[in-house]
Structure 1
């Protein structure tokens, strides 16, 4: 194993040992933990042992695996199960794994990693005494240009000792030690990890130019997700958003320059859309209009009415009447 990996606290992310578990239970645990559907073959199903841990941090899904020998497939039938189009990185900590995808096969040993694609058939042949840490991220988070380039990297072996890979993987392993109380910081850190991961993969794909518009789109989408999670906060301001996302106010405005909305305009737009959904919901028929506005950050009923009418063309009460007619 790469020397620096020996010093990392992998126990927070990857189980130290495999526990005896039935093949059916193992299939359920893996498919739930990875949020993809896999099929399995076992040499010795009666003696099989495996343990998996998983958690989500921001846009990243982290899961660690310790297990005995078996084979894992993503067959064409498995690909039809609903799932976000994603890339997954797998770093070998112990044992070996042969990754077969897109007409290529490579064998990973400790200190090596590979990329695979949720939208292509796949086979893993896993050895005994196997341990790995794995990261899943949606293709949309890296943009269409990078996603197309990264698709050519699947089932290729890379060393975790070269380039920025040690920094990327040590940070990924550190994410697993974050306590739940530090989740907000973890979300921001996960965004930085995703940036580093994309930079690492761009280097392997031979992409020298900056990420450009796709990167700006991804960064804006991350800010929009942050805003969406806090629409109910009446004190949500451009300055606090910029500080939370570790960008300047000027840079934040620049991210929205070609989006059709200013930052403040986007907040108003999303709040009005959320109010529309509540006003059109029969189950919320008896909730006062002002209460719905307050629920989504409009503290002043008069201001809510003005903003809603300017956006929707009718008052909130009229919108509700038409929606529930």
Structure 2
């Protein structure tokens, strides 16, 4: 497996080394980067080291991890803090990881991948010299029919060498390495990568027929990609999104009717998530809080602070201090 795996272009998608970091900081970095809440156990907290890269591209959340031995849980209390219901695919690049979910346990080695579900309790036991690349996508993005089938795949081991898996994972790693200047094109590519990922999982689930057509879902995905591309625009409005997507304002609202968000609420959600990632990024430590808010469309610092605190319970400055402590 290692020979085939070495052909995958990791680029900057996955850290090559782990940096020494306190357990509390690691917990905040992972929870922010993955946009899910996990609990952690460390055998050697004083010597723990870990590095994580993360970015959102269209419908996909991509994150790479390099770290030392520890255990990660999603306990019932963690599930109550979830955002959107999601699946996560994890590909092992080095070291091992035992994944336990839904009454099953499997150990992944380099060149193997597995699926897990954000809505079920989970335990991940990772080894020293661990490296992985991971993909998060919302269940709503693949439709209810496929999501129900994929649930039965959790904690099962698959080879990254067989079927279309090498193509899918090469595309994932390439997308994770895409330069920020190519973000608009990346949003479109992310939709294609999501389609490829769903096709791969459908094959493993034994779904041999064509995917169920869902024009409404496809239209909403296009709208979500359009919103992500335009998040930095402080003048982003429902009307401008509708015009850019060639739909009426009424139809745009209808597309979000069963999503759990209004259009404006989704824009705020995506902006706050982007700000959380930047505030927790050590490389952006010197960037003023107001500048990070402005980067993601919050033109008024006071309004940014109010919205951020309403969502997270912390001011942006408080969130940054905790994330970087």
SS in 2 for 1:46: helix
The equivalent of 1:269 in structure 2 is 250
> Where does the alignment leave 5 or more consecutive residues of structure 2 unmatched?
231-235, 255-262, 265-325
Would you say 1:133 and 2:133 are equivalent positions? yes
SS in 1 for 2:156: coil
Q: 1:179 & 1:141 partners in 2: Cα distance?
A: 24
**How far is 1:10 from its partner?**
1.4
Q: Greater CA deviation, 217-226 or 108-117?
A: 217-226
SS in 1 for 2:240: coil
The equivalent of 1:14 in structure 2 is 14
> Where does the alignment leave 5 or more consecutive residues of structure 1 unmatched?
242-263, 279-325
Instruction: Give the RMSD, CA atoms, in angstroms.
Output: 2.2
Q: 2:202 & 2:253 partners in 1: Cα distance?
A: 39
1:13-32 → structure 2 map (5 Å cutoff): 13-32=13-32
Distance change in 2, residues 1:77/1:27 (3 Å): same
The equivalent of 1:113 in structure 2 is 113
User: Normalising by structure 1, what TM-score?
Assistant: 0.71
SS in 1 for 2:46: coil
SS in 2 for 1:213: coil
1:170-249 → structure 2 map (5 Å cutoff): 170-214=170-214, 216-226=215-225, 231-232=239-240, 236=244
Q: 1:81 & 1:54 partners in 2: Cα distance?
A: 20
**How far is 1:87 from its partner?**
0.1
Q: 2:248 & 2:91 partners in 1: Cα distance?
A: 39
SS in 1 for 2:47: coil
Distance change in 2, residues 1:157/1:180 (3 Å): same
Would you say 1:94 and 2:94 are equivalent positions? yes
Q: 1:41 & 1:94 partners in 2: Cα distance?
A: 21
User: Normalising by structure 2, what TM-score?
Assistant: 0.71
In the TM superposition, what whole-angstrom CA distance separates every residue of 1:185-211 from its partner, at most 9, and x where no partner exists? Answer: 100000000000000000000001111
Runs of 4+ in 1 over 4 A off after TM superposition: 226-231, 233-236, 270-273
Q: 1:19 & 1:41 partners in 2: Cα distance?
A: 18
Q: 2:19 & 2:95 partners in 1: Cα distance?
A: 16
Q: 1:119 & 1:271 partners in 2: Cα distance?
A: 28
In the TM superposition, what whole-angstrom CA distance separates every residue of 1:212-254 from its partner, at most 9, and x where no partner exists? Answer: 234x333222223356658438984xxxx6xxxxxxxxxxxxx
Distance change in 2, residues 1:75/1:268 (3 Å): closer
Structure with greater Cα Rg: 1
| Matched residues, number | 247
The equivalent of 1:46 in structure 2 is 46
Distance change in 2, residues 1:271/1:23 (3 Å): closer
Distance change in 2, residues 1:70/1:193 (3 Å): same
Distance change in 2, residues 1:117/1:271 (3 Å): closer
The equivalent of 1:37 in structure 2 is 37
**How far is 1:268 from its partner?**
4.5
Distance change in 2, residues 1:47/1:193 (3 Å): same
Q: 2:48 & 2:241 partners in 1: Cα distance?
A: 50
Q: Is the 8 A contact 1:15 1:51 kept in 2?
A: yes
SS in 1 for 2:132: strand
Q: 2:216 & 2:195 partners in 1: Cα distance?
A: 13
